[in-house]
Amino acid sequence: MARLIYLDNNATTRPLDAVVEAMLPFMREQYANPSSVHRFGQSVRHQVELAREKVAALIGASAKEITFTSGGTEAINLAVRGTLAVRPERRHVITTAVEHSAVRKLCSRLGEEGYDVDEVGVNGDGCVDPEEITSRLRDETAIVSVMHANNETGVLFDVERIAAVCSDRGVPLHVDAVQSAGKVPLDVGSLPATMLTLSAHKLHGPKGVGALYVRSGTRLEPLMLGGGQERGLRGGTENVAAIVGMGVAAKAAMGDAEVVRARMKSLRDLLEDGLRRVSPGARVIAGNVDRLCNTLNVAFAGIQAEAILLLLSEAGICASSGSACSSGSIELSHVLQAMGIEERLARGAVRFSLSSLTTRAEIDQVISTVARLLSRLGAT
């Protein structure tokens, strides 16, 4: 089989060799429970705490503000449900129309449970207006939960302004930074968010581990009750190997970050220009606004994204679309729908997401492959 060209890094990333190497000893020799009092256990505990420091450093937090979870989804649920449980009299929740399903499905369940969920829309570029969030804040608002970067379009929200308003009004803000961490500088010193979610597998770490940053002094109820691990916020014996892997990935994301991001952006821009050239009718979604350096969402009018993805896959190229297949029919992406993108375009939207491992040769090959398959589909 030809070498795989992996441009689906917003779905997941390849774990770095250094990550895998660092994890292995914790599945072989260093298997002690970090809660055990013997020296063996305490040496493992030490490694968990070192990983916590590394993850904290990625976002300018202190180690005690980091709680390890089983991933982004659990961290999001802990942030939102944990906050609601602290002040049960507050029944109003604000979120946006383009959140990842971890937030969307949770909020829709909250609606069924009787919470008043306010979903703020986005404009045609996928941007949310911070004023719109401000105008919805009420005395009984329990939490605002917004993403930093959208997983489908890469659009970056103005979380600084949203955080400033929430902080002024004393309303807890949770930021889903799963897609932005490692690709955008993040510093909770200057960003007054109350909580922030991270996921290791989006930054070349292992799957099934994430972290919730909880600002010092914030009260939160645990979802998972158990042995009192993670200062009582998340019971359950720690996934030590994965936590250590996440620490290594977080540290790697900080080294040379500016250079790596500039390189990713220039390759993404090359891909964008190349695809525009081979398909002049294609539309770059959110092409004129602040977005992640690695993400390109391009809509080929009149073609089904699935047809393109299948042919790309046959050529060894991995990309994705925002649409979901449910019970035999293809559901349109809720993100593109919220942006008001016409159906003909939205159905042909393909997301290419690069990583620091992407090469120039791969980008050139993707452009020529897309040119070939578009003519096969009769689209040029």
Tokens read off for 42: 């305490």
Query: Which one among 176, 230, 238, 272 touches ligand PLP, defined by CB under 6 A?
Result: 176
Closest distance of CB 38 from ligand PLP, Å: 32
Closest distance of CB 331 from ligand PLP, Å: 17
Q: Which stretch binds ligand PLP (CB under 6 A): 54-62, 71-79, 274-282, 358-366?
A: 71-79
Cβ–Cβ under 8 Å, residues 77 and 218? no
- Host H or E run for residue 310: helix 305-314
- 7-46 residues in contact with ligand PLP (CB under 6 A) are none
Q: Which stretch binds ligand PLP (CB under 6 A): 106-114, 171-179, 244-252, 364-372?
A: 171-179
Closest distance of CB 92 from ligand PLP, Å: 22
Query: Which one among 15, 71, 172, 222 touches ligand PLP, defined by CB under 6 A?
Result: 71
Q: Based on CB atoms, which residue is closest to ligand PLP, 72 or 245?
A: 72
Whether 318 is catalytic is: no
Closest distance of CB 245 from ligand PLP, Å: 13
Tokens read off for 181: 């961490």
- 326-355 residues in contact with ligand PLP (CB under 6 A) are none
- 127-156 residues in contact with ligand PLP (CB under 6 A) are 147, 151
Residue that has been written with the tokens 């070349």 in this structure? 204
Buried b (16+ CB within 10 A) or exposed e, 84-103: beeeeebbbbbbbbbbbebb
- Per rule CB under 6 A, is residue 159 in the interface with ligand PLP? no
Catalytic residue, chosen from 127, 166, 293, 325, is 325
Cβ–Cβ under 8 Å, residues 252 and 51? no
- Per rule CB under 6 A, is residue 245 in the interface with ligand PLP? no
Cβ–Cβ under 8 Å, residues 143 and 83? yes
What is the pattern of x (binds ligand PLP, CB under 6 A) and - over residues 202-221?
--------x-----------
User: How many residues form the binding site for ligand PLP (CB under 6 A)?
Assistant: 12
- Per rule CB under 6 A, is residue 77 in the interface with ligand PLP? no
Buried b (16+ CB within 10 A) or exposed e, 220-233: bebbbeeeebbeeb
DSSP letters for 9-62: TTT--PPPHHHHHHHGGGTTT----TT--SHHHHHHHHHHHHHHHHHHHHTT--
Q: Cβ-closest residue to ligand PLP? A: 72
- Per rule CB under 6 A, is residue 199 in the interface with ligand PLP? yes
Q: How far is 197 from 211, CA to CA, in rounded Å? A: 6
What is the pattern of x (binds ligand PLP, CB under 6 A) and - over residues 281-300?
--------------------
Closest distance of CB 354 from ligand PLP, Å: 15
As a whole number of Å, the CA-based R_g of the chain is 21
DSSP letters for 247-277: HHHHHHHHTTHHHHHHHHHHHHHHHHHHHHH
Q: Based on CB atoms, which residue is closest to ligand PLP, 5 or 147?
A: 147
From the list 76, 59, 322, the residue with the least C-alpha distance to 180 is 59
What is the pattern of x (binds ligand PLP, CB under 6 A) and - over residues 91-120?
---------x-x------------------
Q: Based on CB atoms, which residue is closest to ligand PLP, 252 or 278?
A: 252
Helix axes 240-254, 39-58, angle to 10 degrees: 30
Q: Which stretch binds ligand PLP (CB under 6 A): 44-52, 66-74, 137-145, 366-374?
A: 66-74
Closest distance of CB 329 from ligand PLP, Å: 22
Tokens read off for 71: 């991933």
Q: How far is 238 from 19, CA to CA, in rounded Å? A: 17
- Phi and psi, residue 266, nearest 5°: -70, -35
Cβ–Cβ under 8 Å, residues 177 and 186? yes
- Per rule CB under 6 A, is residue 178 in the interface with ligand PLP? yes
Q: Rule CB under 6 A: which residues touch ligand PLP?
A: 71-73, 100, 102, 147, 151, 176, 178-179, 199, 210
Query: Which residues are known catalytic residues?
Result: 325
